[in-house]
Amino acid sequence: MRYTSLFSFYGSKSKLSHLYPPPNYPVIVEPFAGSAAYSVRYHDRQVILVKINPRVTAAWKFLLDPEAEQWVQQIPEHVQHGTIVDDLIPGAPNGLKEILRAEANMGTLGTSGVHKRVTKIGAYNWHRIKKKLLWFLPKIRHWKLIEGDYFNAPNIEATWFIDPPLTSQMLANATHITTLTPINYDTGCSAERAKL
């Protein structure tokens, strides 16, 4: 089975990543990483993720930690609807809890609030989580994470997958979203402009 994401994420491109052109360079930079669905598709490349959201960076720090596999092995194969996620694995790192909460609620990581209980659809799909993470963990060990906003991304020749986050105002005012969050190119300096 071909997995398209490491964890559920609101706004993920996991179902669209195959529609984007393949990378032109051996390095991929995702300055608004989220679940990094584009990079997941090309996981063998050198990947640099940039993210400022502390919940998402916790998830990625966990996934890139050499000890992650030990924790993933403890994920139960099945859970019941209504189960409190934080009670599943005593002492689990926060990043694993964020991933499990996202899977328990099928994409709520990336939305506001913390969703702590497993939904019906989360319980139905739970059996995939451990297998998927164990399949990916050795394949992404070489990835790098930069905690910060896109200004912290390195100015290097790479394939840049830029999918800026949507603003709540854009979501509230649109029935069909056709524009992305504007990036202020004037404050980005010429090096930033060259990246974009």
pLDDT value of position 32 = 84
Do residues 142 and 46 make contact, with C-beta atoms less than 8 angstroms apart?
yes
pLDDT value of position 3 = 73
- Domain ranges within the chain, ordered by starting residue: 17-165
Residue 187 clears pLDDT 60, i.e. is over it: no
Picking from 50, 14, 45, the residue whose alpha carbon sits closest to that of residue 196 is 50
Picking from 25, 24, 27, 20, the residue whose alpha carbon sits closest to that of residue 4 is 20
Q: What is the pTM of this model?
A: 0.79
pLDDT, tens digit, for every residue of 24-47? Answer: 999 999 988 888 888 888 999 999
pLDDT, tens digit, for every residue of 99-155? Answer: 998 888 865 554 555 578 888 888 998 999 999 999 999 999 999 999 998 889 999
Chain mean position to CA 69: 18
- Measure the CA–CA gap between 188 and 151, rounded to whole angstroms: 7
pLDDT, tens digit, for every residue of 46-102? Answer: 999 999 889 899 999 999 999 999 999 999 999 999 999 999 999 999 999 999 988
pLDDT value of position 175 = 44
pLDDT value of position 176 = 42
User: Which is higher by pLDDT, 66 or 173?
Assistant: 66
